[in-house]
Structure 1
Amino acid sequence: MQNPFTLNFGKEPLTIINRQTAKNQIVEDFTAPIINNQVYIISGVRGSGKTVLLTEISKQLAQQSKWLTVELNSTRDLMTALLSKLYDLPAIAPLLIEANIDLSFFGIGVHLKTAAPIVDIETALSRVMDLLQHKGYRLLVTIDEVTNSQSMREFTAAFQILVRQEAPIFLLMTGLYENISDLQNEDSLTFLYRAPKVFLSGLNLTAIMGKYQSIFKLDEAQAMKMAKITQGYPFAFQLLGYLKWQQPTITDEELLTEFDIQIQEYVYQKLWHDLSPKDQSVLIALAKLANQQGQVKISSLRQELDMSSSLMSIYRDRLKKKGLVDASRYGYLSFTLPRFDHYIKLYYLSH
């Protein structure tokens, strides 16, 4: 049988634990008869399942009548790409021609003898949206892993105008906390601060236990032991299952060693490299002071770092939004990612 787990980021695994609450919330808002929200942002640490959730929502809406879905590449010219992809939809191209919407100036479609080419990209988008609204369509645009690029800024600003014009366009984006923060801090894009955001937390351990128990025919205790190693981190759930499937007779100790090697290579090295030196110093101190349960008093962390309360609050909030620390217990911090403290101790506290 094929391995039911995958290590490919962004690919929908054969074995998946749905984030039903988040999915329902977004789908219900987008399909509501009276539109209140036309944009959602999904954020979370690398490997938290952002792309999988975006894909699930896009597939669900694509199956509904009068819904169009278009996926855009965040590194391309987004507005031209949107027009081009809409023109390529079999249901839309004839409507554009019938409505005399000539997009040939942008290299899209053919020149219409009965109409002058539209030469302004925002005017073209507005005309197309008017047509879709008249025909009763709603359009979902998905953009995975957004960054604060010129094209992204132009597209988001144009989207804001279309929303004010009551266009039937909806935007679903994913991104790392720092990239979303950079984008919404642009003076012309502060409306993104008000956009609903879904911060992906860990998966339910009981759900993970159930999957492991069913697939590997384990008893409840063995399956929960595996589930606890993942700490609910979606990529860890996939990785641990993948390794166990590949080597069914592997010992627990060997499995944990292989897990450490792979998760460091796939996630933690890149994640650590992208952190600021100050973020790194806070996490090193957290790993150094962590007790058996992995929790550290914030007051002890401040003392270790010689950091003021106000400055500590800033870093606690940043690291929490990046999905790296859990601050749910008042006055304490702990790591959210499985064995991330082990990685830090091994590479940054062993000498």
Structure 2
Amino acid sequence: MKFEEIKNPYTLQFSYIPPQFIERSIITNEIINNFIREVPTFRGMFITGVRGSGKTVLMGDVRNKIGKLDDWITIDINPESNLLDSLARGLYIIPEIKALFVKAKLDFSVLGIGVHIENAELVASNEEDALKMMLGILKKAKKKILVTIDEITYSTDVARFSHAMSSYASADYDIYVLMTGLIENIKAIKNQKSLTFLYRAKARELDNLNITAICADYQKVLALDRETAEALAFCTKGYSLAFQALGYHYWNALSRYGAGKFDIDDVYRELDITLSELSYEKIWDELSETDRKVLAAIDTICKKNNTDAAKVEDIRKHIDMTSNTFTTYRTRLIDSGIVDGKKYGSLSLKLPRFGEFIRFNTY
């Protein structure tokens, strides 16, 4: 098998479905089935997770699959834009949809969409009214709409969007919303109890990629034996960015030196740099000083005892913290997706090779 850097099937790019893509079938089907059922359980859904976990890729996969279904329209809108205006414009530029609006003699010229129509049946005065008119026509045409918004954060425009979606839901228009966001940003939105639509939206946190699937991918694409592929797969801990980055750097090593002619530690060093630059530095910057001390303590204890997890009691002693105070930081770090607390009485670092990053940044 010939390996060439320019044909590397793994990527370090964000926000699109890569050539080597491991599908999360369970959550993908759960989201799609929710929206396409006769009466959806949730009109809005959030995909949450730590940076680099594959939120945008999953949303894109769902959007593509739903977009292929009859009578469905998908619109992706910029979270930094005027959401209602972007949605109205996005619908209007779809030729088959625009034709329905023109036929119905709807006038959206006040928004700079289309032209002024003489003897118009309805004339829009703002974005929200324009969308009501559009959705009414689309419902008669038995069209359903999925709106996708990547990396949403709370703002007054998001609040306005939520209130509009509540209004459209009350009118039984067929419009649904799928969003991605960091866990803390989704919580900030859901803490705004007046935003009924987004408050009731289902939040679904991403699970790790399946290690067996990663192993099979590496074995096939990188032409590895089972043992080597397993070692690489376990190194990623199922973290989406690590899966792509490790495959990317291993492929490049094969193309430059050939199988068995390079030091795997060099590949891991490249991986560490990529994880740091594309994810870990930003995660670290967003942590408090005490959060960092807790993480450093977990790493120190695990390294000292040669274990994957550190006992909570040992962590508290190491940083001299009371049980009540520690609980706050424990909960926050688990919720952020950085720490795993599934093992009773213990904590472990959830992200691959994050211990190496911590040591480099604290010692």
TM-score scaled by structure 2? 0.92
Instruction: Give runs of aligned pairs for residues 306-345 of structure 1, distance below 5 A.
Output: 306-345=320-359
Q: Do the aligned partners of residues 126 and 311 (structure 1) sit closer, same or farther apart at CA in structure 2, a change above 3 Å counting?
A: farther
Deviation at 1:132, TM superposition (A): 1.2
Question: What is the rounded CA distance, in whole Å, between the counterparts of 2:197 and 2:300 in structure 1?
Answer: 40
Instruction: Give runs of aligned pairs for residues 175-194 of structure 1, distance below 5 A.
Output: 175-189=181-195, 191-194=197-200
Partner of 2:285: 273
TM-score scaled by structure 1? 0.95
Question: What is the rounded CA distance, in whole Å, between the counterparts of 1:314 and 1:98 in structure 2?
Answer: 59
Deviation at 1:121, TM superposition (A): 2.4
Q: Do the aligned partners of residues 293 and 160 (structure 1) sit closer, same or farther apart at CA in structure 2, a change above 3 Å counting?
A: farther
Deviation at 1:165, TM superposition (A): 2.0
Q: Is the 8 A contact 2:44 2:197 kept in 1?
A: no
Q: Is the 8 A contact 1:43 1:177 kept in 2?
A: yes
Question: What is the rounded CA distance, in whole Å, between the counterparts of 1:297 and 1:263 in structure 2?
Answer: 27
Question: What is the rounded CA distance, in whole Å, between the counterparts of 2:283 and 2:196 in structure 1?
Answer: 27
Cα deviations by residue, 1:179-208 (Å, 9 ceiling, x for unpaired)? 111222224225534322221121111111
Cα deviations by residue, 1:320-348 (Å, 9 ceiling, x for unpaired)? 22211111111111111111011111220
Q: 1:21 aligned to 5, 12, 26, which one?
A: 26
Deviation at 1:41, TM superposition (A): 0.3
Q: Is the 8 A contact 2:215 2:230 kept in 1?
A: yes
Q: Is the 8 A contact 1:284 1:345 kept in 2?
A: yes
Partner of 2:57: 52
**Other structure's SS at 1:133 match:** helix
Q: 2:252 aligned to 217, 222, 246, which one?
A: 246
Q: 1:256 aligned to 268, 274, 296, which one?
A: 268
Question: What is the rounded CA distance, in whole Å, between the counterparts of 2:329 and 2:163 in structure 1?
Answer: 30
Q: 1:87 aligned to 84, 87, 92, which one?
A: 92
Deviation at 1:119, TM superposition (A): 0.8
Question: What is the rounded CA distance, in whole Å, between the counterparts of 1:314 and 1:196 in structure 2?
Answer: 25
Cα deviations by residue, 1:103-142 (Å, 9 ceiling, x for unpaired)? 1111111111112631132222222112111110110000
**Other structure's SS at 2:69 match:** coil
2:173 is the alignment partner of 1:161: no
Question: What is the rounded CA distance, in whole Å, between the counterparts of 2:177 and 2:324 in structure 1?
Answer: 35
Question: What is the rounded CA distance, in whole Å, between the counterparts of 1:82 and 1:195 in structure 2?
Answer: 19
Cα deviations by residue, 1:266-311 (Å, 9 ceiling, x for unpaired)? 2111211122333223222222222423201122223333334343
**Other structure's SS at 1:247 match:** helix
Q: Is the 8 A contact 2:239 2:351 kept in 1?
A: yes
Question: What is the rounded CA distance, in whole Å, between the counterparts of 2:299 and 2:250 in structure 1?
Answer: 28
Q: Do the aligned partners of residues 64 and 308 (structure 1) sit closer, same or farther apart at CA in structure 2, a change above 3 Å counting?
A: same
Question: What is the rounded CA distance, in whole Å, between the counterparts of 1:329 and 1:107 in structure 2?
Answer: 57
Q: CA RMSD in A?
A: 1.6
Question: What is the rounded CA distance, in whole Å, between the counterparts of 1:35 and 1:90 in structure 2?
Answer: 28
Question: What is the rounded CA distance, in whole Å, between the counterparts of 1:292 and 1:227 in structure 2?
Answer: 20
Question: What is the rounded CA distance, in whole Å, between the counterparts of 1:95 and 1:11 in structure 2?
Answer: 31
Q: Is the 8 A contact 1:61 1:69 kept in 2?
A: yes
2:301 is the alignment partner of 1:289: yes
Deviation at 1:155, TM superposition (A): 1.1
Instruction: Give runs of aligned pairs for residues 17-166 of structure 1, distance below 5 A.
Output: 17-115=22-120, 117-166=123-172
**Other structure's SS at 2:184 match:** helix
Q: Which amino acid aligns with 2:19?
A: L
Q: Which amino acid aligns with 1:307?
A: M
Structure 1: runs of 5 or more not aligned = none
Question: What is the rounded CA distance, in whole Å, between the counterparts of 2:99 and 2:183 in structure 1?
Answer: 41
Farther off after superposition, 46-55 or 28-37: 28-37
Question: What is the rounded CA distance, in whole Å, between the counterparts of 1:284 and 1:338 in structure 2?
Answer: 15
Q: Which amino acid aligns with 1:202?
A: N
Q: Is the 8 A contact 2:111 2:126 kept in 1?
A: no
**Other structure's SS at 1:85 match:** helix
Q: Is the 8 A contact 1:201 1:323 kept in 2?
A: no
Cα deviations by residue, 1:14-51 (Å, 9 ceiling, x for unpaired)? 10110000000011110001232211100111111101
Deviation at 1:149, TM superposition (A): 2.1
Q: Is the 8 A contact 1:67 1:140 kept in 2?
A: yes
Deviation at 1:159, TM superposition (A): 1.2
Q: 1:6 aligned to 3, 8, 11, which one?
A: 11
Sequence identity of aligned pairs in percent? Answer: 37
Q: Do the aligned partners of residues 53 and 304 (structure 1) sit closer, same or farther apart at CA in structure 2, a change above 3 Å counting?
A: same
Q: Do the aligned partners of residues 103 and 44 (structure 1) sit closer, same or farther apart at CA in structure 2, a change above 3 Å counting?
A: same
